[in-house]
A and B are shown apart, each in its own frame.
Chain A
Amino acid sequence: MGRLARGTIALAVAGAGATAVRALVVPRHRSWPRVTGADPRPARWQVVTLTGPPEAVLPGGRWPEPLRRLDGAVEVHTRPAPGGRGTELAARPLGGSPRLPGLAAHLVGDDPGLLIRQALREAKQLAETGEVLRADRSRLDRPGAAG
């Protein structure tokens, strides 16, 4: 391995609320950036690989819509995937945050890992197929449907 790009690119981006400014880093090492701050047990990065270059995954540095829902609650990084497989997109809960913004705190609940996983999978589907695949709705989800 060890064929990752050496360069470090920092992008200042405007988040969904147009107020947050984040650094999106393409790291020079294989491991994701180490945690900053004092949290002794940083949350694990969750990663998906998406078709397309980082610029397409984060156009203009803008987060894909499914991740924007977690704005303020997670940090996001990308790097090129080896073997021409596109882009590795990673997210994890912000470490050491004393308080999450209201909606984000509500969203990440008591298992932020699952929500992040789901948001990453949705971001991947959106980037690769143009939409997020939805399950059939069951009878219970469809009040008023026949039967």
Chain B
Amino acid sequence: MRALCWEGVDALAVRQVPDPELRNAHDMIVRVRRSATCGADLPLLGGRIPFLAAGDVLGHEFLGEVVEVGPEVRRHRVDDRVVVCAAVACGACWFCRQGLFACCDNGSSTGAAATESAWGQPTGGCYGRPAPLGGFAGSHAEYVRVPYADVGAFTVPDPVSDDRAVFASDAAPTGWMGAELGEVGPGDVVAVWGAGAVGQLTARSAVLRGAARVIVIDRYDDRLRMVDRHVGAEPLNYRYVDVPAELRERSGGRGPDVCVEAVGMESEPPGLLGGRLGGGADRPLALREAVHACRKGGTVVVLGTWTGFVDAFPLGAVMNKGLTVRSARQHGQRWIPMLLDRMARDELRTEHLATHRLPLERGADGYALFRERADGCVRAVFSP
């Protein structure tokens, strides 16, 4: 089959690779119809995460149709149209039973021990990561193997288009989780840093949960226009306004109840050692501002993709304002059915985020547009 392979730092090419095969009884094989770029890919693409090898296939947000099922798969059949959660989780371990699917003990092949040495415990798997971080090829390909298919794949309701449902794989559950970790409810003022797909979907989730005001901060006017038009939230361009002062004013001097960082390390140019897993430190500029802006006793939620260390984290403000800081990689299995329902009811619309729909052959161009945020690119979505 054809797949978009990493060839070296910032180098991608479509190559012929072996078709995926069923490796476990709970596996199935999906023919990919849509596969989206994601900010979490950029540190990989840029060579900032070790272990990636030439020929590895990127991509973890995808939708397709089932073409082969293993003998233990119960919930899916050939020809089902499914969206697959980017997180690989077993559904059976203690963490999965708590709903902490991204923390699954069994979500990576047992040889993939790098997360344990980097972070102290093994974390759940994800598609399109180097073998020591999981062991599952990426989705920018014609076919993908889906382990634990009954747990991680979800049949898409007929009225929901491919271009909408593909965002239920990662960006929408991440956004919903941002609002949920912040316990956003009626009357809350919520500020979200970053108007990419995750930031917009966090803001939309906050709106759906009844927040009184939702404010999204970014520097790109095209993204902020989407916030106004598609999300129903208030855009704030930090190039033109003093963000902390503006947020104070819009929240009656209190500061937002919930501040969500949806920017991540990919927004910052790496220092000499920046961004590496367990290596040098990144500068969490948006996170610092979120901590500074947040009201006393409020919650700061970290959604951006972080893998290593950050410098100059304002712990003093966290302590003296009594803040709660929460973070996670998305536990999508918990929310994807609900999100698909909301998509079917038009409460959650995501097509506008797929600004660039490209054939897989143009994968390298898609990532260039996405990385540079060129031509108004929010997400490039590939169709193999």
**Residues on A facing B (Cβ under 8 Å):** 48-49, 51, 85-86, 117-118, 121-122, 124-125, 128-139, 142, 145-147
Contacts and interface: CB of A to CB of B under 8 A. Distances in A.
B193 interface: no
Nearest to A81: B94
B136 A130 contact: no
Contacts of A125: 90, 106, 110
Q: At the interface, is chain A mostly helix, strand, loop or mixed? A: loop
A136 B145 contact: yes
Interface string B186-212: 000000000000000000000000000
Closest 6 CB pairs of A and B: A135-B135, A145-B18, A135-B109, A147-B16, A121-B110, A134-B23
B23 A51 contact: no
Given A133-B147, A138-B131, A146 B16 contact: yes
B26 A129 contact: yes
A66 to B, nearest CB: 8
Interface string B12-34: 00011111110111100000000
B109 A139 contact: no
Contact of A146 (B19, B93, B122, B134): B19
A122 B18 CA distance: 26
Given A136-B20, A136-B137, A146-B18, A131 B94 contact: no
B111 interface: yes
B110 A51 contact: no
A144 to B, nearest CB: 9
A139 B94 CA distance: 34
B110 A136 contact: no
Contact of A49 (B72, B94, B109, B134): B94
B111 A139 contact: no
Q: How large is the interface on B (under 10, 10 to 19, 20 to 34, 35 or more residues)?
A: 35 or more
A142 B17 CA distance: 11
Chain B interface, >50% SS class = loop
B108 A133 contact: yes
Nearest to B144: A136
7 contacts: A129-B148, A133-B147, A135-B109, A135-B112, A136-B136, A147-B15, A147-B17
A3 to B, nearest CB: 17
Report which residue of B16, B20, B106 has the largest number of chain A beta carbons within 10 angstroms of its beta carbon. Answer: B106
Given A136-B136, A142-B18, A147-B16, A130 B72 contact: yes
A142 B97 CA distance: 35
A51 to B, nearest CB: 6
B55 A133 contact: no
Nearest to A139: B18
A129 B106 contact: yes
B282 interface: no
Which has the most chain B C-beta neighbours within 10 Å: A134, A145, A146?
A134
A135 B129 CA distance: 11
Contacts of B245: none
B112 A124 contact: no
A117 B105 CA distance: 13
Contacts of B135: 133-136
B147 to A, nearest CB: 6
A135 B18 CA distance: 14
Given A135-B135, A136-B20, A139-B18, A51 B92 contact: yes
Contact of A129 (B23, B55, B90, B108): B90
Residue of A51, A85, A128, A130 with most chain B CB atoms under a 10 A cut-off? A128
Contacts of B131: 135, 138
A147 B72 CA distance: 30
Contacts of B23: 134-137
B181 interface: no
Given A124-B105, A130-B72, A147 B93 contact: no
A128 B92 CA distance: 6
A131 B25 contact: yes
Nearest to B16: A147
A53 B225 CA distance: 56
B113 interface: yes
Contacts of A128: 90, 92-93, 105-106
Interface string B133-163: 0111100000001011000000000000000
Contacts of B90: 125, 128-129, 133
B94 A51 contact: yes
Contacts of A130: 25-26, 72
Given A133-B24, A135-B135, A135-B136, 18 more contacts: A121-B122, A124-B106, A125-B90, A128-B93, A129-B90, A130-B25, A130-B72, A131-B72, A133-B109, A133-B148, A134-B24, A134-B135, A135-B131, A136-B23, A137-B23, A138-B55, A139-B17, A147-B16
